[in-house]
């Protein structure tokens, strides 16, 4: 738990979020500014800055985040038509919250993978 980390505070229940899936190690909740009809963030409950740090430190937990994302896609009805999973990393990746999170997006065709 990092007290000044937004997603640690959501995991701790200090900041409200609309939770759609939870395991012992992960939490999934709706993005506050959705970019698609379904836009869910999946985080490990433990604090890691980004997916590279997580993968290096705890590959099992990284797999649990991916499995939770797949479960969310299933329960949100995205599996048949498809969906996108994004990890933004660092400045060029457009990362704004430095607690690793997978974006699970779907519910409409999502267009090109990058905007420019
Ligand atoms: P990033 O740019 O770091 O990959 O994505 C951060 C995401 O967190 C953004 O899509 C943003 O809308 C979302 N976000 C920022 N603050 C909050 C919040 O307080 N609650 C929720 N549910 N999402 C947030
Ligand atoms: Zn955190």
Q: Is 92 an annotated catalytic residue?
A: no
Written as six digits, the tokens of 76 are: 């949100």
What average pLDDT does range 12-41 have in this prediction?
A: 98
Q: How far apart are CA 26 and CA 47, in angstroms?
A: 11
Task: Give the Å distances, CA to CA, from 47 to 26, 54, 61, 65.
Answer: 11, 9, 11, 13
**What lines the ligand 1 site, CB under 6 Å?**
6, 17, 29-33, 88, 94-97
- Mean pLDDT over all residues of the chain? 97
- Best substitution site from 7, 41, 114 to test ligand 1's pocket, by max atoms within 8 Å of Cβ? 41
Question: Angle at CA 82, nearest 5°, toward 91 and 34?
Answer: 50
What average pLDDT does range 10-33 have in this prediction?
A: 98
For 52-81, how does the pLDDT look when each residue is reduced to its tens digit (9 = 90+)? 999 999 999 999 999 999 999 999 999 999
**Which residues make up the environment of ion ligand 2, defined by Cβ < 5 Å?**
2, 5, 7-8, 47, 99
Count Cβ atoms below 10 Å from residue 36 Cβ, excluding itself.
19
Q: What is the pTM of this model?
A: 0.97
């Amino acid at each position: 738990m990092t007290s000044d980390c937004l997603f640690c505070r959501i995991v701790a229940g200090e900041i409200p979020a609309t939770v759609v899936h939870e395991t012992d190690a992960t939490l999934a909740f709706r993005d506050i500014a959705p970019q698609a009809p379904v836009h869910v963030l999946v985080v490990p409950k433990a604090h890691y800055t980004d997916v590279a740090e997580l993968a290096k430190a705890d590959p099992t937990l990284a797999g649990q985040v991916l499995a939770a994302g797949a479960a969310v896609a299933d329960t949100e009805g995205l599996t048949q038509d498809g969906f996108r999973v994004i990890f933004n990393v660092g400045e060029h990746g457009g990362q704004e919250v430095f607690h690793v999170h997978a974006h699970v997006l779907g519910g409409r065709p999502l267009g090109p993978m990058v905007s420019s």
